[in-house]
Amino acid sequence: MKHSISKWVLPAYSALALLILMIPIGYTFVYSFNDSLKSNITWRGFTFDKWLNVCNVQNGAVCEAFGNSIFIGVVATVLATTLGTMIAIAMVRYRFKFRSQLSLFLFLPMATPEVVLGAGLAAQFLSIGVPKDMLTIILAHTMFCISFVVVAVKARVASLDPALEEAGRDLYGSALQVFLRITFPLLLPGILAAALLSFALSFDDFIITNFNSGAVSTFPKYIWVSAARGIPAEANVLASAVFIFALIIVVTVQVSGAARAKRLEKLHQAGVN
Amino acid sequence: MAFAAFSTTAAPTSSDSVKKKSPVALLLLLPGILYLVLFFLAPLVSLLLTSFKVPAEFGDIGEFSYAFRWENYTDVITAYWPHILRSFGYAITATFFALIISYPLAYFIGVKARRWPLLQSLALVMVVAPFFISFLLRTLAWKQIFADESFLVTSLKAVSLLAPDAHVTGTAFSVIFGLTYNFIPFMTLPLYTTLERLDVRYLEAGSDLYASPFHVFRKVTIPLSMPGIVAGTLLTFIPAAGDYINASREFLGGTGTQMMGNVIEANFLVLQNFPAGAALSIILMSAILVMVSIYVKKSGTEDLL
Amino acid sequence: MTTDTFAESGADLELVGIHKRFPGFTAIEELNLTIPAGSFFALLGPSGCGKTTTLRLVAGLEAPTAGRILVGGTDVTNQKSFQRPVNTVFQSYALFPHMTVLENVAFGLRRRKMTDPLGKAHEVLRLVELDHLASRRPQQLSGGQQQRVALARAIVNRPALLLLDEPLGALDLKLRRQMQLELKTIQEDVGLTFLHVTHDQEEAMTMADTIAVMNKGRIEQMGAPQELYELPRTAFVANFLGQSNLFTGPVVSTTSAGVAVDVAGHKIVVPATRAHRTTGEITIGVRPEKLTLHSAKPIHDADVNVMGPGRVTDVSFSGVSTQYLVEVPGAGTLIVFAQNMTFGSDVKFGDGVWVSWGVGHGFGLDDDPADAPRFEADFDTRSIAAQRHLEGA
């Protein structure tokens, strides 16, 4: 093969690019085992201590911030997923005036830089005199998650064959029964994906949070504040734990998806032969 | 999980014939729209109003009253024009690099790796993996890798690839590097979703019609992947232009690399000069909207939105 | 080819000792084929027989494992597809969705830096009667219109050789018949060499000067449509190209005039000139439309073969003709096509009948009767294309 070298350029390039993408992740993970003192910059030896005593540092400030982030993420996800799914279903299934204007309106929060969203909300809360706390963070996160939920669920609704719902109605299902027994179960994977996305967005958000959090600490905000005086290895521990957890979810979804595809293929082949 | 959000560019839409008019639609739409009006639209209006405010008479620092002082805009432009230019300069550069780094990667995953689904999924998981680790921590990791006393920098200095007194962090390079790195997944994913659907038979047809591999790429592959290119560049450019984490002094930036986000943050949260911060935000947003609509018009992908 | 010239006329295509192996299976083994310039040549076979692979080898979209490909005497085996003076009308048409019809047609001309590409494109669009749709996108056209654009996009380049990969497969029957005639007319007008791949035997017979029937990576038989139909050499050809009644039995006598075979007690004669084998166990056959039904045993005639009595097990009316299935004990089920010359049918389901045909209509196959017909798994164009592309050449 005279092209054997050029054949390997793209795979090798891709492997290198992916490897570089992994570097900071590896770095964060490795330094979660660093026997560091206050700041976690130089390598001082391997220890499991930080993993075992995550909450012991600084009176548990890291863990408190982490807990806040999870709480905010869950509440904002529930709100945004509910509101977003309703909009998505309406947009695909119903006809109404100002559709394209609505699409544009829903697209805008995604096209607006976070710093503008954050500053806008801060200006709003300031002018109506709402104190910044947990509630303002949740309100802010729900807002920027809705659009992403709409986009993710809309794709799922659009790929749903309307004939399935018609069949349900044909088989004497009331509108509510058809929704609960046919539409919703079929949409569920899309809704779950949207919820995961919105949790991830909320959990890792710093910019908007920073403008609207007042004295409340979240995990990203804790890192931002500590960056000046050194971030404890415990932050790396929590971030690595989240990473591993997210990885397990994604791999499970991918593997089960691949397994399902394979099963279907086998069934299909069996049917053909 | 995050893939779904980017896969909409060509999602099948059910035909209009099945859509019906019903008051149910209003019921479904109203809560969400109301929410966005309250917490997205109204804040933008607040921001606009704030941007014209003047310091309150006899007020404390941070107290302002409603006015129409458009000079707030000329003031911030005079004071911060380097930040404004830098923001767009950095964002455009980072978007450009992210595109040329991501395109071959997305092409490999979406086209070449089709035969090996497992490799394809593994590569995709690796592309989104940075999403799963804190944005701030992964940026700090680069700061430490690029620190003056780090292994990388000392080695580069040892082999004279870097001047002995040079720094990597705090430079335009490190900020653009950070922006590029952090937004590569946003570029790669939409590129992947369009390239994954690319029908290789079009490439064969091009080749059959006397187009060399280079011409096939330029005349067929690139135009067919345009939706992904537009989506990816927007998803990279918009957050990059407004970012203030990478350029922050505690992260990859320095005094000479501050972007608009940094000054908006400083005016809002430190100086409590809300009108200046608001005016800068409005400038940032309008500039982005103008640039994006020109870009989308030029690339002929309006129907994407 | 960046020359500013068109092929003056079609060119010969020669395939010499072509082998093509894919990981895990052999698509083509030892293919030798010469297609004379200016002819309309059809490669006919079932899915997976290797015909599409052959076409892709000629187009340069695949490289042969062994063997050489010559176009007009020039060895093009090592040329890339964009360097070959060959164009393809793809099964899926593969019209570029991001270009107008006109730009699609002008694509090849522009790449070859021809003068006045748009003028030439308009000209060829007029030939296929689609010039009024030149500014549309391919997606806005009907299937038949897309097919004509695909054809225009290929012939505008005046290739020495035009490859057609089942281009009519996606059209409905009526449109397909119409396009077959149009294609044939265009081929005669422009005088190019056409290599047409299809699994539709009727299409191949209507359009081609020469048909090669392919099976399991080999050419089973090649010749003019009528020759193939009247005198198939193998059971595969006899059944793939139309339908046949085949019988197997030992040869009982051979004279200069004919070979007599014992089929379940009936002595069936085949002309010696139409029998590929004359000894031992052989398979002979006759086409269903050559058979005549009799409600009484016909009078003996040396020029007529008779089988019966049998029972009619099925009658199906199809307008022009009626198809009867006749079960003859020991000889199996015979298919008989009878022209509907009179209103109503003389023969009904369950009737006892005799079947006869002129000795001259029979044929004797070259097959070893022990060989079963060969079919294999399908590899459609798309998966081959995908695989090919991924191999990355």
Chain A neighbours among B 239-278 (CB < 8 Å)? 239, 241-245, 250-251, 260-261, 264-265, 268-269, 274, 277-278
- Give the CA angle between residues A77, A83, A87 to the nearest 5°: 135
Contact B209 C82 (CB under 8 A): yes
State how far the Cα of C336 lies from the Cα of C322, in Å rounded to an integer. Answer: 8
Distance CA C93, CA C91 (A): 5
pLDDT exceeds 90 at position A20: yes
Single-letter amino acid code for the residue at A172: Y
Tokens for C263, please give them.
Answer: 């089929």
Give kind and range of the element (H or E) at residue A189: helix A184-204
- With CB atoms and an 8 Å threshold, state whether A111 touches B118: no
Nearest CB among B209, B216, B220 relative to C87 is that of: B209
Distance (Å) from the C-alpha of residue B216 to the closest C-alpha of chain C? 10
Smallest Cα distance from B253 to chain A, Å: 13
CB proximity A268 to C under 8 Å: no
DSSP one-letter string for B204-227: HHHHHTT--HHHHIIIIIHHHTHH
Find out whether B239 and A117 touch, Cβ atoms under 8 Å: no
H or E segment at C294? strand C292-294
Question: Quick one: pLDDT at residue B137?
Answer: 92
Q: Please give the Cα distance from B32 to A84 (Å, whole number).
A: 7
A263 touches chain C (CB under 8 A): no
Among residues A145, A131, A128, A100, which one has the least CA distance to residue B43?
Answer: A128
pLDDT, residue A251, reads: 84
Task: Check CB contact under 8 Å for B21 and A197.
Answer: no
- What ipTM was predicted for this assembly? 0.86
Give the pair of three-digit tokens for residue A249: 């979810």
Nearest-neighbour CA in chain C from B202: distance (Å): 5
β-pair type (B64-65, B54-55): antiparallel
Which of B13, B28, B87 to mutate against chain A (most A CBs within 10 Å)?
B28
CB-closest option in A25, A250, A255 to B133 = A25
Query: In chain A, which among 31-70 make CB contacts under 8 A with chain B?
Result: 31, 41
Planar angle of CA A212, A214, A217, nearest 5 degrees: 95
A136-180 residue pLDDT tens: 999 999 999 999 999 889 888 888 777 887 787 788 777 788 888
Query: Considering only CB atoms, which chain A residues are within 8 Å of B8?
Result: 151-152, 154-155
Among A84, A35, A69, A214, CA closest to B135: A69
**Given CB atoms, is A248 within the 8 Å cutoff of chain B?**
no
| Cross-chain CB nearest to A113 (options B108, B137, B288) | B288
For B220, residues 6+ apart whose C-beta sits below 8 A from its C-beta are B202, B203, B205, B206, B211, C96
In chain A, what residues touch B43 (CB-CB under 8 Å)? 117, 120-121, 123-124
Instruction: Determine whether the interchain pair B205/C157 forms a contact, defined as Cβ–Cβ distance below 8 Å.
Output: no
CB contacts < 8 A, A to C, total: 5
pLDDT of residue A4: 64
The pLDDT, as a whole number, for residue B166 is 83
Contacts of B215 in chain C (CB under 8 A): 82, 111
Mean pLDDT to the nearest integer, A71-77 = 96
Q: Is the pTM of this model over 0.80?
A: yes
Determine the residue of chain B that is closest to C114 in CA distance.
Answer: B210
Q: How many Å apart are CA C222 and CA C232, to the nearest integer?
A: 10
In the three-class reduction of DSSP (H, G, I as helix; E, B as strand; rest coil), residue A260 is classed as helix
Q: Which residues on A lie below 8 Å from C393 (Cβ)?
A: 3, 7
DSSP codes joined into one string, C372-392? PP-------HHHHHHHHHHH-
- Looking at the complex, report in whole angstroms how far the Cα of residue A28 sits from the nearest Cα belonging to chain C: 36
User: Distances in Å between the alpha carbon of A69 and those of A137, A138, A202, A216, B190?
Assistant: 10, 10, 8, 10, 28
Q: Is C392 on the interface with A (CB under 8 A)?
A: yes
C-alpha distance from residue A113 to each of B215, B247, B285, B291 (Å)? 37, 15, 7, 13
Would you tell me which residues 187-226 of chain B have a C-beta closer than 8 angstroms to some C-beta of chain A? none
Are B210 and C112 inside 8 Å of each other by CB?
Answer: yes
d(CA C144, CA C123): 19
User: Nearest chain A Cα to B131, which residue?
Assistant: A200
Q: What is the pLDDT of residue B305?
A: 45
For residue A137, the chain B residues in CB contact (below 8 A) are: none
Instruction: Specify the length of chain A in residues.
Output: 273
Residue B85 is predicted with a pLDDT of 94
User: Residue A156, Cβ neighbours under 10 Å: how many?
Assistant: 23
Compare CB distances from B46 to A120, A190, A227 and report the shortest one's residue: A120
For residue C106 the two structure tokens come to: 């002008």
pLDDT, residue B211, reads 93
Compute the distance between CA of residue C326 and CA of residue C313 in angstroms, rounded to an integer: 6
Q: DSSP secondary structure string, C72-118?
A: TTEE-TTS-GGGSSEEEE-TT----TTS-HHHHHHHHHHHTT-SSHH
pLDDT of residue B275: 92
Distance CA(B227)–CA(B197), nearest Å, equals: 12
- Checking DSSP bridges between strand C40-44 and strand C210-215, what pairing results, if any? parallel
Structural domains in chain B, CATH included, are: 73-304 (1.10.3720.10)
- Are B226 and C94 within 8 A, CB to CB? no
The residue with greater pLDDT, A95 or C93, is C93
Residues 6+ apart with CB under 8 A from C237: C213, C220, C221, C228
Whole-angstrom Cα distance, residue B251 to residue A144?
25
CA distance C393 to C62: 9
Q: Between vectors from CA A141 to CA A136 and to CA A147, what angle results, nearest 5°?
A: 140
Q: Is A44 on the interface with C (CB under 8 A)?
A: no
pLDDT means per 10 residues in chain B (305 residues)? 36 49 84 94 93 80 80 91 94 96 95 88 90 90 88 86 84 94 94 92 93 93 92 93 92 90 92 92 93 84 51
Contact B218/C at CB under 8 A: no
Structure tokens at A45: 């030896």
> What type of residue sits at position B296?
V
Give Cα C24 distance to the centre of its chain: 27
Q: Which residues of chain C have pLDDT under 70?
A: 1-10, 342-345, 369-393
| Interface subset of B 61-80, CB within 8 angstroms of A | none
- Judge contact between C251 and C221, C-beta under 8 A: no
- Mapping DSSP onto H, E and C, the string for A138-185 reads HHHHHHHHHHHHHHHHHHHHHCCCHHHHHHHHHCCCCHHHHHHHHHHH
Which residues on chain A are in Cβ contact (under 8 Å) with C392?
3, 7, 10
Cross-chain Cβ contact B135/A220 below 8 Å:
yes
Q: Within 13 Å and on the Cβ side, how many CA atoms surround C273?
A: 5
